[in-house]
A and B are shown apart, each in its own frame.
Chain A
Amino acid sequence: METINILIDLFPYALMGSVLAGIICSFLGVFVVSQRAVFLGASLTQVSIAGVAFSFLHLINLEALIGSLFTAETIENSFLHHFEHTFFSLLFSLIAVLIFSQSYRQKLITQDGLLGIIFVIAIALRIMFIQKSPVAEISEIEAILKGDILFIGPNEFYTMLVVLLIVFLIFGLFSKQLKFVTFDAETALAHGINSRFWLLFFYLTVGIGISLTTRFVGDVFTFAYLIIPSSIGMILGKKVSQVFIISVIIGAVIPPVSIFLAFIFDFSSGPAAVVLAFVVFIIVYGVKKLV
């Protein structure tokens, strides 16, 4: 109990933020996994990091640009400073989603192949951007790029809260379109629902969610929580709604528990959250096989 109190005192936003990040990823993960687009999740985490790395080149001074549009009193400097990383992370991710969403128009390369190329190019660009960055130590930039649950502060927490509400709102309001186009895009189109538009719209939402969680909690956590909770949900859920609920519960509960365990056993909280989710997955899988 004492440890929990210490954690709440020291990392209140980290604990609450880890829940939000877990929910965002596990909720979007059901969409990603059911669309057989797991590799899209992996690629977007790397693209998001490449976007943050690009922001360290300071080729476009967004801080000055926005500062000139709004007075210094209206926007906090710290927000502006973080905004630049987040902006490029989002921009890179959305461009990758747009490229991926249009890949059905061509037959020269498979979607998997395209995602593989995006994945490796993003990693290569990240390295090159960091090497050419005029500021700070490379190790320091790498740490910022990778994100960390424990570094979640009020800005990150409220940004994720807004993202979560937007994701829930979009997937809730347009659940009819979501169900139909993800189940059978061809028939949806034949019945007058513009499945290309809706798929792009949902993928863009996924891109925003993945980009921001990667930025705040790291690529390993984000990718793991896209895949593992939704896989558990699919193993246990007998209805679509149950898959979402189980996935979200797993995504919400495991990260704060992992922070607690990581604190006790002196591990990094991100990898601990991934390993604990995997342990739960193995138990669920094993029990389901036996029953």
Chain B
Amino acid sequence: MQNDLIKLSGLSIGYKNKIIHSNINLNISDNDFIGLVGPNGSGKTTFLRILLGTLKPLSGTVEKNNARFGYVPQRDTVQPLLPYSVFDIVMMGRYSLKGFFEKINKEDETIVKESLEKVGIASLKFMNYNSLSGGQRQRTLIARALAVNPNVLILDEPTNGMDTPSHHSLLNLIEELHDKSKLTVLLVSHLLSDVANLVKKIILFEKDNFQIGKIDDILSEENLSKTYSAQIKISKIGSEFLITSKHPRSYNGNN
């Protein structure tokens, strides 16, 4: 039996007087694996910020029952000028659990080491973050989120700007964290194929509307084409989804 970690009731999200979505009712349970998809400006980031508590909802409530978040931001938003080491950055994950003047201790160091091992970059511990590849940086940020000892891992566009091998390797890591560490995962991505092949549930944000459901309920060509205002094609290669949008010219030509 799954326990509800987060309960959203009658939630309206938006900024000032502009409501983006209203009446969101949703339970997020332990071991859920949810993908958040939708076109640009459809409210994914706003929803995420409200969930994280960095933005207040216009109305409604967000109940967190022992939910501890580990947040992985978009990699491009983190570009330090100072030469932080991988260890320094992962240790930051421990800071939010410490008191005002409390110093880091052996236990924190052990947890940081374990987090680095989980994401497979223990050997990069003393490397300068700025000298890492995109994939290694992303793993560092995931390790920092794991150092919080979270039960909910939230990733915002984790594979943005990565080459294909790094991209797939990272998706495997996220899947592994969900399967082995039993983490509830919320994955925001604009790459529909990634989300479809990885998650168990999808929240599809549209302008003025949103849908929540299992993959098969949400993923239909008709539904996605309507949401993205484009001709979306869903193919299956083996057991994997391949979701593409048709080029407008070929779309017009074929029709």
Which residues on A are within 8 Å of B, measured CB to CB? 30, 33-34, 36, 173-174, 176-177, 179-180, 182-184, 186-193, 234, 237-240, 242-243
| Known A183-B80, A190-B53, A190-B71: A176·B95 in contact at CB below 8 Å | yes
A240 in contact with B81 (CB, 8 Å):
no
Q: Main SS of the interface on chain A?
A: helix
Q: With A and B bound together, what is the CA distance between A33 and B81 in angstroms?
A: 8
**Alpha-carbon distance A240/B128, docked complex (angstroms):** 10
Nearest Cβ in chain B — how far from A76, in angstroms?
36
B54 within 8 A of A: yes
* B98 at interface by CB-CB < 8 Å: yes
How far is the CB of B131 from the nearest CB of chain A, in Å? 10
CA–CA, A192 and B85, complex, Å: 23
Find A184's partner among B54, B78, B83, B100 (CB 8 Å cutoff): B78
Q: Judging by beta carbons under 8 Å apart, are B84 and A193 in contact?
A: no
**4 closest residue pairs by CB, A with B:** A191-B96, A190-B71, A190-B52, A176-B95
B81 touches A36 (CB 8 A): yes
A239 nearest CB neighbor, chain B only? B83
Using A183-B78, A192-B96 as known contacts, list a sample of 16 further A-B pairs with CB atoms less than 8 Å apart, ordered by residue number in A: A176-B95, A179-B84, A179-B92, A180-B96, A183-B84, A187-B71, A187-B73, A188-B92, A190-B69, A191-B148, A234-B81, A238-B83, A238-B128, A240-B83, A240-B88, A242-B83
Q: Are B83 and A237 in contact (CB under 8 A)?
A: yes
Which residue from A36, A184, A243 sits with its C-beta under 8 Å from B92?
A: A184
- Interface bits B118-143 vs A (CB < 8 Å: 1, else 0): 00000000001000000000000100
A183 to chain B, nearest CB (A): 6
Distance, CA A190 to CA B80, complexed state (A): 18
Residue pair A186, B77 in contact (C-beta under 8 Å): yes
> Which of B80, B83, B128 has the most A CB atoms < 10 Å from its CB?
B83
Chain A residues positioned under 8 Å from B52 (CB to CB) = 189-190
Q: Once the chains are docked, how many angstroms separate the CA of A243 from the CA of B53?
A: 34
Using Cβ atoms and an 8 Å threshold, which residues of chain B touch A189?
52, 54
Tell me the bound Cα distance from A193 to B128 in angstroms.
24
Min distance, Cβ B55 to any Cβ of chain A, angstroms: 10
Contact of A191 among B69, B78, B104 (CB under 8 A): B69
Across the interface, which residues of A come within 8 angstroms of B104, CB to CB?
176
Interface string of B80-110 (1 = CB under 8 A from A): 1111110011001101101011001000000
- Shortest beta-carbon distance from A11 to chain B in Å: 35
Measured CB to CB, the closest approach of chain A to B58, in angstroms, equals: 17
Quick check: B93 and A34 within 8 Å, CB to CB? no
In the complex, the chain A residue whose C-beta lies closest to that of B52 is A190
* Residue pair A193, B95 in contact (C-beta under 8 Å): yes
Residues of A within 8 A of B98 (CB): 176
Also in contact, A234 and B82, with CB within 8 A (given A190-B69, A240-B88): yes
State A33–B82 Cα separation when bound (angstroms): 9
Residues of A contacting B54 in the complex (Cβ-Cβ under 8 angstroms): 186, 189-190
Q: Which A residues lie within 8 Å of B88 (CB)?
A: 179, 240
* Least CB separation from A174: chain B residue: B100
Query: 26 pairs across A/B with beta carbons < 8 Å?
Result: A30-B82, A33-B81, A34-B80, A34-B81, A36-B81, A176-B104, A177-B95, A179-B84, A182-B82, A183-B80, A184-B73, A184-B77, A184-B78, A187-B72, A187-B78, A188-B92, A189-B54, A190-B52, A190-B69, A191-B93, A191-B95, A193-B95, A237-B83, A238-B83, A242-B83, A243-B83
CA distance A34 to B79 in the complex (A): 10
Is B71's CB under 8 angstroms from A191's CB?
yes
- Nearest residue (CB) in A for B51 is A190
Q: Please, which residues of chain A bring their CB within 8 A of the CB of B82?
A: 30, 34, 182-183, 234, 240, 243
Chain A residues whose CB sits within 8 angstroms of the CB of B78 once the complex forms: 183-184, 187
**Measured between alpha carbons, how far is A180 from B79 in the docked complex, in Å?**
13
Which A residues lie within 8 Å of B128 (CB)? 238
Q: What is the chain A residue whose CB lies nearest that of B77?
A: A186
Bound together, the chains give a CA A34 to CA B82 distance in angstroms of 6
Would A180 and B83 count as touching, CB distance under 8 A?
Answer: no
